[in-house]
Structure formats: C-alpha cells, structure tokens
Amino acid sequence: MFKRIFFFFKNVRGSFALSALFAACAAVLQLLLPFFMGTAIDSIHGKGTVDFALLAKYTLMMGGVVIGCALFHWLTKFFSNKMAFSIGKAIRTDLMRKAHRLPIAYYDTAAHGDLLSRVTNDVETITEGIQNASSQLFTGVVTLIGTLILMFSLNWVITLIVVVLTPFAFLLSAFIVRRIDKTFKKQQQTVGQLNAYAKEQIEAQKTVKAYALEDASVTRFQALNNELYTCGQKAQFFSSLVNPTTRLMNSTTYIVVGVVCTFLLIGGKNIGSQSMSIGLSAAFLSYALQFAAPINAITNVTSQLQAAYASFGRVFEVFDLESEPKENEEVVQLQPQGGEIAFNNVGFSYDKKKPVLRDVSFTVAKGSRVAVVGPTGAGKTTLVNLLMRFYDADSGTVTIDAQNTANCSRDSVRTAFAMVLQETFLFHDTVRANIAYAKPEASEEQIIQAAKDSYAHSFIKRLPQGYDTVISAGGDELSAGQKQLLTIARAMLADAPMLILDEATSNVDTLTEIKIQKAFEKMMQGKTTFVIAHRLSTIVESDMILVMQHGDIVEVGTHDALLKQGGLYSTLYYSQFEK
C-alpha cells in the first residue's frame, strides 16, 4: 500500500525536496531560539549586573531567528500545498483515464455515485491529508533529531530521562491508531454509498414524485446518514483521544524535567555535562517542549492521515478493477467496405450460468436495412452490444466485410457506426457542441444542416441563445422529444458507414416521427442499418427482419413473408392493433 502511495510522489520530487529543505531550515532556526534565549538570560548576572552588549546581541539574533522561521515556514507550506495539489490532480486524471478504460459491464452493474465520490471526496481527503501532514513531518524529523543532539550536548543525564519517557507517548498513539483504521475505512465507504444514493434519488425525482415516495426516499437516506454519523463519531472519538493522550505524557515529561532542573539549580549540583544555570534550565525546558512538539503535531493530524489512507484504499480499488482487455500489437483497423455483417454461431452470456445468445447465425447484405424485434429480454440490445464491441462474444465470430471484429481495434469498430439510442444523453455544454460531439471538426454549416435534416433546427432557433444555448447535463430543460432530435442530429453529422437505431423515435410525436423517418430514409441510403423497434409499423419496409426469443433467432424474413408464416412476428404485429 505504501509503495503504491509513494509512486505518486515521483512526479513531485522538486516540490518534495524544496518543502523538506525549507522545513529543515525552519527547524534548525527554531532549535537555535532556546539556546539564544538561555544565553540572553545568563547575561543577567547577580546583584543587578547586566551584560547589555551580550543581551542586545542575542535579542537581535532571536528576532532574526523568528523572522527567518516565519519565512521558511511559509515556503514549506507553499511547496507542501503545491505537492499535495499536484498529487491530487494526478490521481484525479488517472481515475478518469481508468474510468474510460473500464468495460461497459462495470457501468451496467456499479453505482455511478460511488465512483464519483472516489473521484471527488476521496481525492480531496487525500489532498488535505498530504497538505496538512507533509510539512509537519518534515519539520518534525529535523526537530526531533536536532533537539536530541542539543539536549545531549547540554546535559546527557536529563536527556536520558526525556528519551525514556517519550516512547510511552508513541506507544499510546500507536495503540489508539490501530483501532481507528477500520472506522475510517468504514466512514469513507459509507460516504460513497450515501453519495451514490443521493445522486440516484436526485436524478430520479420525477419518478419518486410520481409514485409519492418522497418520505420513503428520505427514510432510506436517513438510515445511510445515521450510519455515516455513527461510524464518523466512532472515528472522530478514537482519533480525538490521540492528541490529549500524547500531550498528557509530554506534559508529564516536562514536569519531571522541570523538577530535576530546579533541584539541580537550587542544590547547586552538577549531573551531566555542565553545571545548571537559570538560562540553561530555561533552554533545556524549551528543548523538552520542542522535542514533544512534533509528536503532538503529528498526532494532531492523525485523523486526517487515517482518512487519507482509507481514501487511498478506495482509489486503489478502482485502479485494480479489470479494464477492457488490452488490444495486442497485431490488432488491425477495421476498413468498412459497404457493411456486410455476419454473426457466425455466436454465443454470449453476462452471467456464465445464464446464456443470453445461443449459437446465433445470420448474414446481412451490404446496404441492407435490418430490423430486430422480439419480446423484452429476447436479446436485442445484446446483439447491438456485440456489434459495437461493448462486449465480446464468448463463442463464434462477428464479422464486418469479412473482417473479424475481435481482431480489429475497438475504436475502429465503434466509429464505423452512428448510434441513436432510446436513452438520450446530452452534455452540459452548448447545443452546437452537443450536436458536434461525434465530429468536433465539423463546420457551422454542417452542424446546422444536420439539425435541419433531423428537424431540430426550428426548435433550436427558438431557444434563448439558439445554437449557443447552454443546456444542463441530461438536458432536463428540454422535452424528451427535443433531446432525442439533438441525438439524431448528432448521429446524422457523424455520417458513419453503418447505423444502429434503438427505438430512435420513441419520444417524438407522430408528425415529427414521420418527418424523421423521411430523414432516416435519406441517411440510410447505401448504409447497413440495424433498427430495434417495438412499434412494428415503423419497420415494414425493412429488407430483413430478425425475430428473437429467449436468445435465439426464431424467424427471419420480410414483413409480408413473416405475416404469412403466422408465427411469433405475426402475433406481435397484430397484437399492436387489437382493441
């Protein structure tokens, strides 16, 4: 785990080194302050005799040390912040890259809000942990070593007392920290679950309100919120014990050192390196506090370090997810030459125990229009997923123009199709950018022409800023039909050699559908097209109709031929006209 964490420090070595250097400088100057203070005190002799020159010298030196400490502490913080935010930026970038490499199967099953929580909340927790702990760690190491050396040079016997008592603070801290690790992991996990549920409920507000389930939604949210409160309270309770406990041990050490110094000072005794003076006693007590300060500082950020460690674990869980299989060096680019598509004994299952497609075979001629119909769960969408290589077949082959798609790059296969889905998605951007998403280099004239061809131009011109109107993610301010028109315009602009239309006109009115069908007629000319439709009246002109049931193709033919057979297609078709 720590090896993986330190990997992210490789690209911030400059900031790391500078932060450590300035922290060391600040610590060294801070170590000089008690010595100068003790010497200044000892410049005041008995019976009111004062060495003003020595007092002024060390007073000025103390002033310089204080200013120097402030400057170096600021520089340490600056480079620590730069290091922390650079690491946070790198992790977010890597997470987004990983998100794009994850297979569609992950998004079909995982809670999207939890992944979002890892990209935002967990990375922010990591950044804060590094930001607050790094400078204190750098300063603490130098302070501990430097203070120990100086105390030994002043009085090794009293130093041994400090060294013997100090480990008890470490032992108590370690004892508590071991017990809060699990609670912080549970806290971060619950944060992810809460975010996922909140995102889901906010996006589903129309459905929630339609079924009057607002109270039930709040009740479920309260249960998760209470769980987060409980584990958060446990984590903070245990972490809050660390600092007071170590401070108690350090205060005890300070009292013991103070008593010993006072005893030696009053008794005029000499134990250790040299006789004890008032200034030396004051310096030694200051060093005893400085020796304990790094321990207190580190334990003070223990909760943040534990939360950061738990967040690193959640980030690494995403990195460890299985990505889409890496394409080998022998992969080729698909070269569509008309769009002859063939499924040869294709078998596939999402769950190996439940096959979805079984030994499916068919061939589609170049430029044909193919309709895929069947009851819900028959395997229609799975057929499209295999065409687009969102999934790879478990057995058999899928070929396009005699090229096995499994041997072609995924990008070349996917860009060979333009796709319009029943589930529309628009990005938080302008209308123009949403249409041009599939072809960013498109000219203004091409974008407008695609909008006109999809009959979206007229409603776009009525928007407040026309094509420059910014719409929200999902396009909630637009009607379902308007959103679908924009996705159709996007597909038309892509002008790919093959098309997939999955209930592409399900959300538009009848008159608009007739217009879009005419636009599709023009767009489909010379292109192999797969149409998935439940309204069978829209596919009567198809060159081939594949009728699916329980993962098998049970009927193949034209509309008229299938009606004459009187099989499943006939039943499905006439059922739509029954009163």
Q: pLDDT tens-digit profile of 68-85?
A: 888 988 898 888 888 888
What proportion of the chain, given as a percentage, has pLDDT over 70?
82
The pairs formed by 276-281 with CB atoms below 8 angstroms and a separation of 24 or more are 276/155, 277/38, 277/42, 278/41, 278/42, 279/37, 279/38, 279/39, 279/40, 279/41, 279/42, 280/38, 280/42, 280/154, 280/155, 281/38
- Poorest-pLDDT segment among 145-159, 291-305, 338-352: 291-305
Amino acid residing at 555: E
Reported pTM? 0.67
Q: Residue 573: what pLDDT? A: 82
Instruction: For residues 414-420, give the mean pLDDT.
Output: 85
**Residues in a beta bridge with 555:** 547
pLDDT of 253 higher than 50: yes
Report pLDDT for 432.
92
Mean pLDDT of 276-281: 66
Q: Which residues pair with 528 in a beta bridge?
A: 498
Q: How confident is the model at residue 579 (pLDDT cuts 50, 70, 90)?
A: very low
Is the pLDDT at 170 greater than 70, yes or no?
A: no
Taking only the tens place, the pLDDT of each residue in 37-59 is: 777 776 666 556 767 777 788 78
Strands 369-373 and 528-532, by their bridges, are parallel
Rama region for 530: left / alpha / beta (φ>0; ψ in -120 to 50; rest): beta
pLDDT tens digits along 455-477: 889 899 998 899 999 888 777 78
Return the half-sphere exposure (C-beta side, CA atoms, 13 A cut-off) of residue 385: 20
Output the pLDDT for position 188: 74
**Residue pair 54/43 in contact by the 8 Å Cβ criterion:** yes
Among 13-17, 141-145, 165-169, the range with the most confident prediction by mean pLDDT is 13-17
pLDDT per residue as tens digits for the range 202-247: 766 656 766 677 788 788 888 888 888 887 777 777 666 666 766 6
Domain boundaries, the chain: 2-319, 341-575
Per-residue confidence (pLDDT) for residue 456, from 0 to 100:
87
Question: Does residue 187 surpass a pLDDT of 50?
Answer: yes
Mean pLDDT highest for which of 196-200, 235-239, 297-301, 465-469? 465-469
Helices (H), 358-506: 380-387, 410-414, 431-435, 444-453, 457-461, 480-494
Whether 172 contacts 114, CB under 8 Å: no
More confident residue, 400 or 508: 400
More confident of the two residues 413 and 212: 413
Instruction: Give residue 35's pLDDT band: very low, low, confident or very high (50, 70, 90).
Output: confident
Question: How far is residue 374's CA from residue 453's CA, in Å, rounded to a whole number?
Answer: 30
**2-319 in CATH: which number?**
1.20.1560.10
User: Would the pLDDT of 102 be above 80?
Assistant: yes
Mean pLDDT computed over every residue of the chain: 80
pLDDT at 179: 65
Task: Look at residue 71 in the predicted model and tell me its pLDDT.
Answer: 92
H or E stretch at 17: helix 13-42
From 291, 282, 286, 284, select the one nearest 169 (Cα to Cα). 291
Mean pLDDT of the region 11-33: 84
CA dist 79 and 15 (Å) reads 5
pLDDT band at 344 (very low <50, low <70, confident <90, very high): very high
Q: 305 or 500, which is more confident?
A: 500
pLDDT-derived band at 174 (thresholds 50, 70, 90) equals low
107 vs 14, more confident: 14
Contacts of 286 (CB under 8 A, 6+ apart): 33, 34, 37, 38
Nearest one of 89, 86, 74, 93 to 15, comparing CA atoms: 86
Cβ neighbours of residue 289 under 8 Å, at least 6 residues apart? 250, 254
User: Which phi and psi (to 5°) does residue 332 adopt?
Assistant: -115, 165
Rounded CA-CA distance 387/400 in Å is: 9
Q: Kindly indicate whether the domain formed by 341-575 is annotated with CATH number 3.40.50.300.
A: yes
pLDDT grade for 446, boundaries at 50, 70 and 90: very high
Torsion sign across C-alpha atoms 162, 164, 165, 168: positive
How far apart CA 293 and CA 280 sit, in angstroms, is 20
Lowest mean pLDDT among 42-51, 108-117, 522-531: 42-51
